[in-house]
Amino acid sequence: MNKITKYLNQHINGQVFDRPSILNAYSRDKSVIEVTPRLVAIPYDTDDIQFLLKFSNDIASKNFRLPVTVRGAGQGKNGACLGEGMIISMEKLNKVEEVDEYSKLVRVQAGVTLEKLNAVLAAYNLCLPIKANEKETIGGLISTFPTDPYAKKYGSIFYFVDRLEVVLANGDLVQTISYTPHGLKNAELAQTFEGQIYREMDHLISNNVDIMRNIGLSSRSRAGYSMITHVKKEESHTFDLMPLFFGAEGTLGVITEVILKVEPIPRPSKHVLAAFPNLTGAEEYMRRVSNLNPATLDVFDARIFQIAAKHGKSLGLLEPLIDKGYYVLTTFNDSFLSAVKKMRQTLGIGANAISITIENNINADDFKEIYTLVDCYLNDENSMERPSLVDDFYISGEGLLRFEQRLKTIERVLGQELPIFGSFATSIYTVRPDFDLSNIAERKQAMQFLRYFSKVVKECGGSFTGGRSEGRVKGLVSTPELTTRERALYDYVRKIFDPNGFLNPETKLGASFADVVRHLRTSENEGIKQD
């Protein structure tokens, strides 16, 4: 045990480890990289986190390098929860602390998982209507800011967060507050690090209105700190730092507690599955169905299910499987009569489909198996590996057909199939290339693919980071795409919150090809098997 580990263990209630076997367990997430930390800290309470950040900030001010990276459940796909310094794992801060069923508010620690939260809320007939990996933590969902398939109908997690408790870089504990102009003035008068942040952020925003207007109008990207456009609201004359933490990936502070707004549990969902010979027919169908306000509207290239068929999986509703084309799965969770009406309308809209099936009491279980078949594709044993290099990119409905044509060109160049799947409702899609990351030539090819693919997405009017913040991996291409003034704005935001630059410095604006290539995995990621 080194001196730093011993010192920290003497001053916190939790534990700090430097044992190689433990460090290795925190060296991976679901991304293509592997970074072994120097230390792993598992705090038991907020006081522990305050001490750890104060310690790290103090030594950073003396030019001693010990970067701090916050880790939730390790489900990230872009390497944002990996770091070479100290990992702070939130796994013990996992309590649902208070449920107000009348106000529909719940207070939770940031390390609680979506699965645990909804299990507790179910006793009150409430839920957080976010469709995401149930193993992800609430803090992780805020830090990576994914656009989930329910976001079109319910809004993303941003619309369900009422307040955050955050430990700042110097160890101070603060709560985000929506200030009126008078309240903001008082906050800025405080001779504290928090007061300094309010003063500098107010000044920064006031002097860069034109840049933020352009960010708000022209970008779907989650790169940088694009949520800065939501901090100062002219219509309500309020100022709230909370939006900055969405997609910040632990670079501005450590989220410890969250107050969430929750909803009654939706009615049981009803599904409609339609098959089309090409994306043109599927796109027209989805465009018309989207007017019915479905809960989800997902599309899958039929080649995804061909993999499952080769492994002997029962295809259920997909029998007989179409040779080529697309399947569209629509979900309605309205009242019973409204859902029935919408399903009938969907049948009429899909009159030109190869086949169309609505859910009933007999086939309900078969609808649930469709996503199991997608998992089979992602975890295909005959594949070298399908790494999550380009998951969760944004392509508008207008650009989808053009993107499909460009994707066919990439397939011919790579010599491999790249079936697309995702949500037409939110315009967030995923493609999984097939690379052997243990092969040096293919690792180089994977990096070339990353650059070229992001260029294609942009040329089709999309955003490479439209569905989730960039982390280490996507930051390689998203950061260079920022304008000079956008980059300067985001750099200054980071400097305001972390003047000594020790909070997750290799993510977001700090991502570099040299760093990512150095940490590329040389073996298959076991985490992908859980997708």
Q: Could you tell me whether strands 39-42 and 86-89 are parallel, antiparallel, or unpaired per DSSP bridges?
A: parallel
Phi/psi for 377 (5° steps) reads -65, -45
Residue 455 lies in a domain: no
What share of the chain in percent tops pLDDT 90?
A: 80
Domains held by the chain: number = 1
Task: Give the pLDDT of residue 526.
Answer: 54
Asked whether 149 and 247 are in contact (CB, 8 A), the reply is no
Tens of pLDDT, residue by residue over 126-161, are 999 999 999 999 999 999 999 999 999 888 999 999
Asked whether residue 109 is assigned to any structural domain, the reply reads: no
Strand positions, DSSP E, 254-354: 254-261, 263-264, 270-276, 296-301, 326-332
Specify the residue for token string 């009933």: 360
Question: Is residue 387 domain-resident?
Answer: yes
Min mean pLDDT across 211-220, 343-352, 484-493 is at 211-220
Opening angle at CA 14, ends 132 and 8, nearest 5: 120
Tokens of 462: 């999309």
Name the E strands within 313-417.
Answer: 326-332, 355-358, 393-394
Indicate the range of 60-69, 97-106, 370-379 predicted with least confidence: 370-379
**By mean pLDDT, which of 162-176, 269-283, 309-323, 400-414 is the weakest?**
309-323
**278: domain CATH number?**
3.30.70.3450
- In-domain check, residue 488: no
Residue 503, strand partner residues: 68
pLDDT by residue (tens digit) across 24-53?
999 999 999 999 999 999 999 999 999 999
pLDDT band at 528 (very low <50, low <70, confident <90, very high): very low
How confident is the model over 480-507, as pLDDT tens digits? 999 999 999 999 999 999 999 999 999 9
Cβ contacts of residue 476 below 8 Å, gap of 6+? 450, 451, 511, 512, 513, 516
Q: 128 in a domain, yes or no?
A: no
| 507 closest CA partner among 52, 58, 102, 83 | 83
Is 152 inside a domain boundary? no
Sheet-wide strand order for 428-431: 355-358, 270-276, 326-332, 296-301, 420-423, 428-431, 393-394
Question: How does strand 68-71 pair with strand 86-89?
Answer: parallel
Q: Read off the tokens for 372.
A: 């199991």
CA angle 97, 99, 102 (to 5 degrees): 160
Identify whether 411 is part of a domain: yes
Amino acid type, 73 = A
What separation in angstroms does the CA of 226 have from each of 35, 426, 485, 490, 513? 27, 18, 13, 8, 23
The closest of 158, 139, 150 to 80, measured between CA atoms, is 139
Domain containing residue 289: 270-441
pLDDT digits 0-9 by tens, 86-111 = 999 999 999 999 999 999 999 999 99
| Residue 315 resides in a domain | yes
Residues 6+ apart with CB under 8 A from 309: 315, 321
